[in-house]
Amino acid sequence: MSSLPSLNALRAFEAAARRGGFAAAAEELNVTPAAVGQQVRHLEELMGVQLFERDGRRLKLTERGAAGLERLSRALNLMGEASAAMREAPRERELRLAAPYDFASTWLAPRLAGFARENDIAVTVLSADIETRLAGGDADLGIAFGTEPPPAFTAQRLMADIVTPATPPNQTRYASAADLGTAPLVHDDTQPSSWRDWLASRGAYGIDTNKGARAEDALTALQLAASGAGVVLARRALAEAHFREGRLAPLFPDGDMQTGAGYFLLSNPRQSLSATAALFSSWLRAEAARFEDATDEL
């Protein structure tokens, strides 16, 4: 075949085959039945095959005609979608991210603003029911915190959870871990590792770790310590702004300890990533790597 059939001929054949006659096809295409018949005959001549068997006013697809109908219908539908997409005004790209509130409001928020602005992407952060939202398609990506990622999702490790004792810079400083026996302690009940774990890692035993203020979330624990309630075992990712702005400072230069937990980037294995989600994923992993590198240098 030296050339492709005309689009009008293909449309006429597809409509006639789908609607069962030239008259119905003509009504759909807003032309005359004679015009449809002429286009179909032109297509048959060009292809060198008979596409319809004619029985009075009734049309019946031949085997050769039926062979290409489904593919042709799909192709015409796809062309229609492409035309509609080109006619529509450009839409701002969007991303829906499900992430823990403490992580989203501290470590992620300052970085996310720049990403959204530079890439012209509208980001919606969802902070509740992370796994449910991601599984149900309400979120494009998710971030989870824990020792292992949820098993139902595709997971990529972002960064480890690192804790370090911290107090306001102007408060009493302690020379060693053993000196914390006289210090008021602030406890984060969501912390994967406790004061007991950290003190044991430094060989400081026999300290009463039940004393001090308690908080049911990490942000409240940090605020308690910043307000003078005592020494907090601060998660570095969540305490970043407190350290940068001078509300808290690490107590010991060698006080970092990995808790065994970490942050994981999640996606739904049953859904393909959009270009926007893939772009965000690459950016987030790079930001997390930079943060870990900077933490290692402290």
User: Is the per-residue pLDDT at 297 higher than 80?
Assistant: no
% of residues, the chain, pLDDT over 70 = 94
Strand 231-235 versus strand 185-188 pairing type: parallel
Q: With contact defined as beta carbons under 8 Å apart, do 251 and 170 qualify?
A: no
pLDDT of 89: 46
pLDDT of 28: 84
User: Is the per-residue pLDDT at 283 higher than 70?
Assistant: yes
% of residues, the chain, pLDDT over 90 = 56
Alpha-carbon gap, residue 17 to 1, rounded angstroms: 22
Looking at the chain, how many residues does it have?
Answer: 298
Alpha-carbon gap, residue 21 to 52, rounded angstroms: 10
Q: How confident is the model at residue 81 (pLDDT cuts 50, 70, 90)?
A: low
> Domain ranges in the chain?
7-87, 94-298
Tokens of 27: 């009504």
The CATH number of the domain covering residues in 7-87: 1.10.10.10
Alpha-carbon gap, residue 148 to 261, rounded angstroms: 7
- The number of CA neighbours under 13 Å toward the Cβ of 252 is 21
Report residue 266 CA to chain centroid gap: 7
The angle at the Cα of 233, spanning 230 to 239, to the nearest 5 degrees, equals 100
pLDDT of 91: 47
Q: With contact defined as beta carbons under 8 Å apart, do 243 and 166 qualify?
A: yes
Is there a common fold for 7-87 and 94-298? no
pLDDT of 223: 97
Task: State the burial class of residue 112 (Cβ atoms within 10 Å of its Cβ: 0-12, 13-18, 19+).
Answer: buried
pLDDT of 56: 66
Q: How confident is the model at residue 289 (pLDDT cuts 50, 70, 90)?
A: very high
Tokens of 39: 């286009």
Alpha-carbon gap, residue 22 to 183, rounded angstroms: 91
The dihedral of CA 102, 103, 106, 111: what is its sign? negative
pLDDT digits (tens, 9 = 90+) for 46-57: 888 898 887 766
Which of 171-175, 232-236, 278-282, 289-293 shows the lowest mean pLDDT across its residues? 171-175
Domain 94-298 - what CATH class? alpha beta
Which of 13-17, 18-22, 240-244, 292-296 shows the lowest mean pLDDT across its residues? 292-296
pLDDT of 296: 61
Which of 65-79, 154-168, 202-216 shows the lowest mean pLDDT across its residues? 65-79
Average pLDDT over residues 69-96: 73
Alpha-carbon gap, residue 277 to 275, rounded angstroms: 6
